[in-house]
Amino acid sequence: MDLTEILKMSPPLVFVVVLNGIGMILSKATWCKGDYIPIVMLVLGAGVWPFLADTGNVAFTAKNPTLLNSVYGAALGLGAVGAHQLVTRLMGDKTVAPTLPPPPSV
């Protein structure tokens, strides 16, 4: 199976998988705080997807097809974060969740 065949099957799915890979790299990076990863995925999706998307019929029906594709890309970016969270929850989180300290006794 060639890479172009995979891209023709479902470009949004391939884009979400690539964003998941980027998110995993960012989660392992020491310079990127984990709280910023969803925002980075949203910005990457909104910024990159309009250049990858084939506007096709959207160019004739929408007033601003680039803006529409940016919103769609942002949704794909957040979808990548959601897909990662879903897989993490289904596979079982390997990290121990931090526990709250006991309440102070009076």
Neighbours of 87 (CB within 10 A): 10
Mean pLDDT of the chain, nearest integer: 77
26 domain residue, yes or no: no
User: What's the maximum distance between 2 C-alpha atoms anywhere in the chain?
Assistant: 69
Structural domain span for residue 43: 32-81
49 domain residue, yes or no: yes
Length of the chain: 106
Q: 81: which residues sit within 8 A by CB, 6+ positions away? A: 23, 37, 38, 41
pLDDT digits (tens, 9 = 90+) for 38-70: 888 889 888 888 887 765 555 556 677 778 888
70 domain residue, yes or no: yes
pLDDT exceeds 70 at position 94: no
pLDDT exceeds 80 at position 19: yes
89 domain residue, yes or no: no
**What confidence score (pLDDT) does residue 86 get?**
83
97 domain residue, yes or no: no
Q: What is the pTM of this model?
A: 0.67
Comparing CA positions, the residue from 50, 6, 103, 76 lying closest to residue 84 is: 76
**What confidence score (pLDDT) does residue 14 get?**
79
Element (H, E) at 45: helix 37-52
